[in-house]
Structure 1
């Protein structure tokens, strides 16, 4: 069995207080393994993004045990959690989160800068990451001059320029058309399979199913099923799919 990078055991998360209190996660067990692309699927409000933020050490669980690369996160202070994120986790979000006044290469370099690496080496690593997503020729281009698919590819380059053990992607194809969505999913699948990373894609988009090794379904804060991915799991016309 592949190495487990992140393991969540009996994770619960309560959001809000008083009359507005919501139990977003109600006892989740999930392991993310090296070399595997996992889809976390469920309807809006099911707890998908909350679980991603907990797995990424952005939200602390109300109870349960979270382990990242063999290190339990319970009792770790904010600086310690920031170090875990910096050393082991790359994030990709639907809205890209690129700085509009920075070039593609400068946006990617931010992830290198926070590790304390600057100068020529940082520039080289940023351009190498952009090359991996097919955008080396756009290194000096501002985000506003890039298409949505290109901006998402810059965001992915930024996520793995620091060589994280796991990539957590929240709805990375939701704002993209079929061609760009297929490109993004191929990059994420290659990251899992060829670069031996654990990849979790949170989505409600069934078009991404052909790229998954495993599909985990969540509903009302509970995992309700796990199945193998691939084209055989498609339940809609194949013309709508992001076929690999």
Structure 2
């Protein structure tokens, strides 16, 4: 089994046209490995989110190549890209994107609905995913009755329920206080280490650095540094609600 789940080689991405044209990525080489949590860090406008969207097959590169689980995306049409996302990629965003009229279970189950999984088994899998992030007591709660940290854990459960190969998280702690942010990072670290998934977290929050296995720094669309020498968190007690 190839340890590399997603590989980008010489990726460039130009956004806009004419006078508004911006070269957001300038020849990126990056591989995401199974069992590893990678932080992608850089200032605002550095290309972090653009790279995440390219790796997640939401944007196609202007040049270069991206491979997801051995499948090159260069010649994939919209339907094929959607299938790759469904089968291999889980997304987590800063804004939780939960439907306010649906319970936690129903919000998670949406990720199975688009894969054609319905009914009692899908509901059970959704509740199991919620239990995995410490929300077994909140399966019937509406988003309005959950804290920000709990809502983000619902979003993570939704990203994990279909057993993706890679989880891509864009500023997942950005709207959270320190305690909730640490809880979210523990879950994402466990997702990488215990379940052998690749996890990429885009962030500018230095508080999350101790949870990373690898730190990639990006500036002006270029990777300027990659390192693994960072402070480690003490052995964490598994988070519970």
The TM-score by the shorter chain falls in which range? Answer: over 0.9
Counterpart-to-counterpart distance in 1, 2:127 and 2:234? 28
SS in 1 for 2:149: helix
Counterpart-to-counterpart distance in 2, 1:242 and 1:149? 21
TM-score, normalised to structure 2's length? 0.95
Q: What number of residue pairs does the alignment pair up? A: 236
Counterpart-to-counterpart distance in 2, 1:80 and 1:103? 31
Unaligned runs of 5+ in 1: 233-240
Which residues in structure 2 correspond to 1:38-57 (within 5 Å)?
Answer: 38-57=38-57
Unaligned runs of 5+ in 2: 237-241
Deviation at 1:230, TM superposition (A): 3.6
Is 1:225 aligned to residue 232 of structure 2?
Answer: no
Contact kept in structure 2, 1:182 and 1:243, CA below 8 Å: no
Question: Residue in 2 aligned with 1:211?
Answer: 211
Q: Residue deviations 1:137-189, cap 9 Å, x none?
A: 11111101100000000000000000000000000001111110110000000
Counterpart-to-counterpart distance in 2, 1:15 and 1:117? 36
Greater displacement, 1-10 / 28-37: 1-10
Q: Residue deviations 1:57-95, cap 9 Å, x none?
A: 000100100000000000100000000000000000000
Structure 1: 4+ residue segments shifted above 2 A: 241-244
SS in 2 for 1:90: strand
- Aligned alpha-carbon RMSD (Å): 1.5
Counterpart-to-counterpart distance in 1, 2:95 and 2:229? 26
Question: Residue in 1 aligned with 2:239?
Answer: none
Counterpart-to-counterpart distance in 1, 2:113 and 2:160? 13
TM-score, normalised to structure 1's length? 0.94
Question: Residue in 1 aligned with 2:160?
Answer: 160
Distance 1:242 1:41, change over 3 A: farther
SS in 1 for 2:126: helix
Question: Residue in 1 aligned with 2:117?
Answer: 117
